[in-house]
Chains A and B, each alone.
Chain A
Amino acid sequence: MRQARPYSGIFCGGVSARTGPHALPLARIKKIMKRSAGEAAAAADGGARMISGEAPVVFSKACELFIAELTRRAWAATLEGKRRTVHKEDVATAVHNTDLFDFLIDVVTADDAAAGDDVNDGDGLGPLE
């Protein structure tokens, strides 16, 4: 299986027209950064915060590492439940089991509340042999 190497991302992410060699679009990252920094800056001193061009580059890779880690941990929860489909609650389990991901607890629990009661439907595939 092809493993993404942490050091070689810039050259193995695949060059696409939209994102360049990065796995995630820099413009989008910058927008999200701007919103979070902009709100904080507005609250504190009213000044608008600027973002260096390299910061989203770092995030493009950081988010890859982050998604990979969260996914791996969610998959562990999926296997624990003898399933083969990763569900939202597996992600929630991963978040709850990892101190590093404490900041995501609201995200996964808010999601649960919003989605209501369809969390226990299983994946209909039967147990993983």
Chain B
Amino acid sequence: MDSSYLPAGGAANGGGAGNNGGPGSAAQQAAPIREQDRLMPIANVIRIMRRVLPPHAKISDDAKETIQECVSEYISFITGEANERCQREQRKTITAEDVLWAMSRLGFDDYVEPLSVYLHRYREFEGEARGVGLAPGATPRGGGGGGDHPHPMLKSRAPGSAAMLPHHHDMQMHHAAMYGGAVPPHHGFVMPHQAGQYLPYPYDPTTYAGEHAMAAYYGGGAPYAPGNGGGSGDGSGSSAAQGGSFEHQHPFAYK
């Protein structure tokens, strides 16, 4: 059934490339789209499916392939909406915020909160990984275990993010706790950004949203300040800091 899809897709694309003849993109589009470019790897898809199915459940090959197709369609669907927004606002880059905004627009509101948390975690992690790389002197590995991870994100990042920040030293403790296997104390943590701080270009070193987040969270009581004796104090500090943030947990929902 993939073979039946490909000629159609290839033809449509061939036509598109012929029409616009844009530099660079034309060569890419003229080539028939390989399956490995068009679909998520089947093994990954199956792994995620199995996680939600009971152990005795079986999955037919056609169901796997259909879900694989659906995932690609989902990405295109959301990206299309995000793209339109960028176009309206005359921006060239589709950001994570555009994607989240598109999801809430298209009915996937339920995903927005967990994804915001995920993104926030990613930024923290990224900050920490960068911090370790840039300032090897400041690496309090409180929880142990952190050193076993090669910080794989570093490899997958765009080089542009190098500007991002050596300012997250105080996050080390926090991540050490996570890596140590403990449940993060502030597990309902949501993106603390105010809607107004919501930035179209998160890599801009002067306006990186994470920095505002850190300031908001760790400026006052500084529960994670270096020198604080480990993870034990984290729970109380973070839960106190958390209070206000719930009010704007959906910064993209309205706009």
- Asked if residues B37 and A28 are in contact (CB atoms below 8 Å), the reply is yes
- Asked if residues B76 and A36 are in contact (CB atoms below 8 Å), the reply is yes
Using known A-B contacts A7-B187, A41-B87, determine if residue A15 contacts B115 with beta carbons closer than 8 Å. Answer: no
CA distance A110 to B77 in the complex (A): 17
Using known A-B contacts A53-B157, A71-B49, determine if residue A58 contacts B96 with beta carbons closer than 8 Å. Answer: yes
Q: Which A residues lie within 8 Å of B232 (CB)? A: none
Using known A-B contacts A46-B22, A50-B92, A51-B93, determine if residue A67 contacts B75 with beta carbons closer than 8 Å. Answer: no
- Asked if residues B94 and A87 are in contact (CB atoms below 8 Å), the reply is no
Secondary structure of the B contact surface, majority rule: helix
Q: How far is the CB of A32 from chain B (nearest CB, A)?
A: 5
- Asked if residues B96 and A55 are in contact (CB atoms below 8 Å), the reply is yes
- Asked if residues A65 and B49 are in contact (CB atoms below 8 Å), the reply is no
The listed residue (B22, B72, B156) touching A26 by CB distance below 8 A is B156
Q: Which of B7-29 contact A (CB under 8 A)?
A: 16, 20, 22, 24-25, 29
The size of the chain B interface, using a CB distance under 8 A, is 92
User: CB-defined interface of A81-104 with B at 8 Å, one 1/0 digit per residue?
Assistant: 000111110111001000111011
- Asked if residues A2 and B76 are in contact (CB atoms below 8 Å), the reply is no
Q: Chain A: which residue is nearest B183 at the CB level? A: A8
- Asked if residues A66 and B149 are in contact (CB atoms below 8 Å), the reply is no
- Asked if residues A20 and B60 are in contact (CB atoms below 8 Å), the reply is no
Q: Chain A: which residue is nearest B113 at the CB level? A: A6
Q: How far is the CB of A15 from chain B (nearest CB, A)?
A: 6
- Asked if residues A62 and B111 are in contact (CB atoms below 8 Å), the reply is yes
User: CB-defined interface of B94-131 with A at 8 Å, one 1/0 digit per residue?
Assistant: 11101110010011100100110111011101000000
Q: Which B residues lie within 8 Å of A26 (CB)? A: 156
- Asked if residues A123 and B48 are in contact (CB atoms below 8 Å), the reply is no
Q: Is B248 among interface residues, defined by CB-CB distance under 8 A?
A: no
- Asked if residues B94 and A38 are in contact (CB atoms below 8 Å), the reply is no
Using known A-B contacts A55-B95, A72-B52, A107-B70, determine if residue A78 contacts B57 with beta carbons closer than 8 Å. Answer: yes
Q: How far is the CB of A71 from chain B (nearest CB, A)?
A: 5
The size of the chain A interface, using a CB distance under 8 A, is 84
CA distance A108 to B73 in the complex (A): 11
CA distance A15 to B149 in the complex (A): 9
The listed residue (B37, B53, B60, B121) touching A71 by CB distance below 8 A is B53
Q: How far is the CB of A17 from chain B (nearest CB, A)?
A: 8
- Asked if residues B87 and A45 are in contact (CB atoms below 8 Å), the reply is yes
The listed residue (B38, B51, B118) touching A58 by CB distance below 8 A is B118
Q: Is B54 among interface residues, defined by CB-CB distance under 8 A?
A: yes
- Asked if residues A23 and B47 are in contact (CB atoms below 8 Å), the reply is yes
- Asked if residues A68 and B22 are in contact (CB atoms below 8 Å), the reply is no
Q: List 21 A-B contacts (CB under 8 A).
A: A23-B44, A29-B40, A37-B82, A52-B94, A53-B203, A54-B96, A54-B119, A54-B202, A55-B96, A58-B119, A63-B71, A66-B111, A86-B58, A86-B63, A91-B66, A92-B66, A100-B107, A104-B73, A111-B62, A111-B65, A111-B69
Nearest 10 A-B pairs (CB), nearest first? Answer: A6-B114, A54-B96, A36-B76, A20-B152, A88-B62, A85-B58, A50-B93, A52-B95, A37-B83, A53-B158
